Structure 1
């Protein structure tokens, strides 16, 4: 499922999941602003559309679309990790950072992703992303979770919040 097993398709939408190594960590929600910054930096360097995202305490799920002619999805994720790691106060301890800059001690070495086949598949995965905090018992209603793009849909009147 890792991105180096098969190429990314330019212009395609992808579902992805990324997990911290520490399953008991709350680092992602405690530093959600840092993660948002990392996404903005990556989007400025290599534009892409975030269709949906949810940040949970120890992992995140998202749906994003690459521009036509661009298959650099994996590089985007590596950049997001690198910016997050560098901006995080006191994490990771510099002694833990390996010479291989692609290996990030906070994160599992690979993230899961797969290409979405059509508009219905995109909508199903967006719903999965937004419902994930409910699935994990963090809230009763998806709209209650503050670290979710569902609030963009609510503002547009596209989701019942």
Structure 2
């Protein structure tokens, strides 16, 4: 079995991708209020700052700043995922997931990246905000309601038309 190593940076900035086990699911959008409540509860119990976030139907991208004396993002994600899963019907799952009391809703692993510098931070914020367009959910970044993009616009950090408009561009672009 692989030995996964998580970044061990106290008080760091981290980018995450956390995905559902069923990547064709719309569960995160269908249960957006449940997800928001779980996220908010854990953020209150174990503080962290959400720099940027985007919730898509089957995955979440988030950029967090942990408190100066803290490096434990793993427990936070575990609590968010388990809090969300409570009350959601279990999915078909392996004996391994049953024995670990997993409902088969989330992928066990997630992607995390320690932000290195300002340029890296900016690239990841842009990636988070552009992701709904990249996946074809909307033609304009501003049209996706489940994103911190709108907060960035309100604060004057981004223009409302940031990212352009894909309506007039034909073609297939990755993924």
TM-score normalised over the length of structure 1: 0.89
Q: Which runs of 4+ in 1 moved over 2 A?
A: 95-101
Q: Which residue of 1 aligns with 2:159?
A: 160
After superposition, residues 25-104 of structure 1 pair within 5 angstroms as 25-88=25-88, 91-92=89-90, 98-101=98-101, 103-104=102-103
Secondary structure at the aligned position of 2:38 is classed as helix
Tell me the TM-score normalized by structure 2. Answer: 0.82
Distance 2:50 2:8 in 1: 16
Shift of 1:134: 0.6
On the 8 A contact 2:11/2:70 being kept in 1, the answer is yes
2: CA distance, partners of 1:128 / 1:83:
27
- Deviation of the 1:14 alpha carbon: 0.6
1:72-151 to structure 2, matched below 5 A, reads 72-88=72-88, 91-92=89-90, 98-101=98-101, 103-151=102-150
Moved more, 75-84 or 30-39: 30-39
Give the structure with higher Rg (CA).
2
Aligned residues, how many?
A: 157
Give the drift of 1:100.
2.6
Instruction: State the alpha-carbon separation in 2 of the partners of residues 49 and 123 from structure 1.
Output: 16
Contact 1:3 1:113 in 2 (8 A): no
Q: Which runs of 5+ in 2 are unaligned?
A: 161-175
1: CA distance, partners of 2:139 / 2:7 = 38
Corresponding residue number in structure 1 for 2:5: 5
Q: CA RMSD in A?
A: 2.2
Cα drift, residue 159 of structure 1: 1.4
